[in-house]
Chains A and B, each alone.
Chain A
C-alpha cells in the first residue's frame, strides 16, 4: 500500500512538474561564473524566489552577507551588505544603471535576453566563461 502511494506521488509530481527554464538558466550560468558547485543567492524579487526555490545547486540565503550574488532589481534599497555583492538584474534598465550588476536576464519583445557587463566582472574579479562571451556588452 505504501509503495502504491509513493509511486502515485512520484507520478503525480512528474506529471505536474513544469519545465523550469529560468531555473536551468541560472543553474547553468552562476556556478560557471563563481567556479562553485553550489552558489548562495540572495533574491529580492518574489517571483524569482519562487522560481529558484527548488534548486539544489542554488541555495537561497536570508542575509545578503551570506550570499555570493544578489538577484533582483531594487539594489539601491538593499542594505550596505547587499550593495557590496555582485548582482544579477532582471531588467535591462536596472542592469544598465546598477554599479554592481554583472549581468541580466530579461525579456525583450517577447524574447528572453541575457547580458553580461565586462566592467562589473572585472570589478568583482570574476571571469566570464567562454561559452557566455557572446553575451558580453
Chain B
C-alpha cells in the first residue's frame, strides 16, 4: 500500500512536469500562431491595397502623361471619371481614398486635393482644397523615397492604417494616392486572440498553481507516510521489546522474590544478632548482683579462714548462700532462654503476665538508671496470642524509651505502660516523657534500617521487626503517635 502510494507520487510528479512542459510548448505555439494569423491578415490587407492603388496608378498614368494638376484642372470629365474609379474601392473598411499634391513651400506641410473618391457630400473635398495631414513627415518620406509606405495611426488605438502610394511621372513624385483603411476586423481578431491568450495564461497559471498545490500535498502526504512508517517500525521494535520483557517477566519476578527472601533472611539474622547482644547485656546486668553476693560470701569465708574462725556452721551457711545465688543465676538463664525462644503455638495470656515477665528482665536496669516505671493496668482478660513474640515487642518498646530518656537526659523520666480493652481490642500503650518523635520522620520509623540512634547503638531493625511481629504474625496493629510528653506506641490485638 505504502509502496504503491510512492509509485503514484512519482508518476504524478512526472505527469506534472510533462504538463508544465506541454503548457510551455503550447504557449509558444500559440504565440507563434497568433503572430502568423495577425501578420497574414495584415499582409492580406496591405497586399489588396497595394494591388488596387497600383491599379488606380496605372489608370491615371494611362490617361495623364504629364502635368497632373493642370490636366485635372482643365478636364473636369476626366477628374470625375477618375474620382468615380476611386469611389469603387470606398467601403466601410477602405473609408478614404484620395489623391494629394504637395504645395511647394518652405516647410512642405501643405497639400492640395486633386481627386477624392468620397461620395458623401460633407466628406468630399474640393478640387485643390488645402489639406494638412497630421502625419506630414510620412507624406514627405514618400516624396523622398519614391516608394509606397503604410503606417498605423497611433492616436486612435491603431485601428486605422494609412497607405501612401506615390504617383511617379518622369521619375518624379507628382502626387500621393492616400488610402485610409480600417483595421477593425484585424483588431477584433487580435483582441480575441489576446483575450484567448490571457485566458490561456490564466489557465496555465491556475494549472501550475494546482499542480504545485497537489505536489505540496503529495509531498506532505509522503512525509506523513514516512513518519507513519518510522513510527510503525518504532512501535514494532517497542512491541518486540515488551513481548520479550513479558516472556522474561516471570523469570525476573522469581529472581526478585529470591533476592527479597535472601534479604529477609539477612534481616532476621541481623535482628537475631542484635537481640543476642541485648540479651547478653541484660544477662550480664542480672548476673552482676548475685555474682557480687557470691564474691562477698566467698570473701567472708576466706577472711574467716585466715583468722581460723571459720566454723562448720559458717561453711554450711556460706555454701548454702552460694548455692542459692548459683540457682538464681541458673534461673536467670532459664528466664532468658524461655523469653527468646519463639513460641510455635498461640497461648492464652493477659497483658499483666507479659508485662511482669518483661519487668523481671529490665526492672534492675530501670532502678539503676532511675527511670520511673508507671503501670496503669486496667484489663486482666486473657486472649490468644504468641506470648514470647509479644514480650519481645514490649521489651523492644521499653528499651527504646529507656534509650531516648538516657540520651536526652530527661529529669523525672518515666515509662508508662497502660492496658485496657476498647470494643473487642486488647490495647497496650507504652509511652514516655522523652519529647516525642519529629513529625517528618514519624511515618518512616517502622521502615527497615531507619534509626535515630547513633550508628553503633541502633541497627534500625527493632521497630521494623516489632511491626512485622504484631501486624503479620499476631494479626494485630502496632502504631505510634505523639502525646503531650512524648511518643505513645499502641499495640492493638483482638
The chain A residues found within 8 Å of chain B, CB to CB, are 91-93, 96, 108-115, 134-135, 137
CB contacts under 8 Å to A, within B105-142, are 105, 107, 109-110, 122-123, 125-126, 129-134
Give the interface size class of chain B: 20 to 34
Specify which chain B residues have a CB less than 8 angstroms from the CB of A109 in the assembled complex.
96, 98, 123, 125, 131, 178, 180
Which among A134, A135, A137 is the interface contact of B107 at CB below 8 angstroms? A134
A113 surroundings in chain B (CB, below 8 A): 130-132
Q: Give the residues in chain A near B95, CB-CB below 8 Å.
A: 110
CA distance A20 to B259 in the complex (A): 112
B160 within 8 A of partner (CB): yes
What are 22 A-to-B residue pairs whose CB atoms are below 8 Å? A91-B122, A92-B125, A92-B126, A92-B129, A93-B122, A109-B96, A109-B98, A109-B125, A109-B131, A109-B178, A110-B95, A110-B160, A111-B132, A111-B133, A111-B134, A112-B134, A113-B132, A115-B130, A134-B107, A134-B110, A135-B132, A137-B130
Known: A110-B180, A111-B133. 6 other contacts (CB 8 A): A93-B122, A96-B126, A109-B123, A109-B180, A110-B96, A134-B110
Q: A109 to B162, alpha carbons, bound, how many Å?
A: 11
- Chain A residues whose CB sits within 8 angstroms of the CB of B132 once the complex forms: 111, 113-114, 135
Chain B interface mostly helix, strand, loop or mixed?
loop
In the assembled complex, how far is the CB of residue A121 from the closest CB belonging to chain B, in whole angstroms?
Answer: 16
Tell me what chain A mostly uses at the interface: helix, strand, loop, or mixed. mixed
Query: Once the chains are docked, how many angstroms separate the CA of A60 from the CA of B262?
Result: 129
B-side residues, CB < 8 A to A, are 95-96, 98, 105, 107, 109-110, 122-123, 125-126, 129-134, 160, 178, 180
**Cβ contacts under 8 Å, B98 to chain A:** 109
State A134–B132 Cα separation when bound (angstroms). Answer: 10
CB-CB under 8 A from B129, the residues of chain A are 92, 108
- Minimal Cβ-Cβ distance residue in A for B103: A134
Give, as a whole number of angstroms, the nearest-CB distance from B409 to chain A: 97
**Interchain CB contact under 8 A, A108 and B110:** no
Task: Kindly list chain B residues whose C-beta atoms are within 8 Å of the C-beta of A96.
Answer: 126
Among B98, B130, B180, the most chain A Cβ lie within 10 Å of the Cβ of B130
Chain B nearest CB, measured from A72 CB (Å)? 16
Closest to A111 in B: B134
Residue of A nearest to B131 (CB): A108
Q: Which residues of B contact A114 (CB under 8 A)?
A: 132
Complex: A134 Cα to B105 Cα, angstroms = 9
A125–B303 alpha-carbon span in the complex (Å): 189
Q: Which 5 A-B pairs have the closest CB atoms?
A: A109-B96, A111-B134, A137-B130, A111-B133, A108-B125
Which of A91, A96, A137 gathers the greatest number of chain B CB atoms within 10 Å? A137
Given A109-B96, A109-B131, A110-B160, A134 and B109 contact (CB-CB distance below 8 Å): yes
Task: Quote the shortest CB–CB distance from A136 to chain B (angstroms).
Answer: 9
A91: min CB distance to chain B, Å:
8
CB B153 to nearest CB in A, in angstroms, measures 8
Chain B's closest residue to A115 (CB) is B130
Residues from chain A with Cβ under 8 Å of B131 in the complex: 108-109, 111, 113
Rounded to whole Å, the gap between the CB of B165 and the closest CB of chain A is 15
Which B residues are CB-close (under 8 A) to A112?
A: 134
Measured CA separation A114–B109 after assembly (Å): 13
- Alpha-carbon separation in the docked complex, A114 to B107 (Å): 17
The residue on A at minimum CB distance from B109 is A134
Shortest Cβ gap from A59 to chain B (Å): 29
Which residues of chain A come closer than 8 Å to B160, judged between CB atoms?
Answer: 110
CB distance from B178 to the nearest CB of A (A): 8
Chain A residues lying within 8 Å of B133, measured Cβ to Cβ, are 111
Q: Which of B109, B132, B133 has most A Cβ within 10 Å?
A: B132
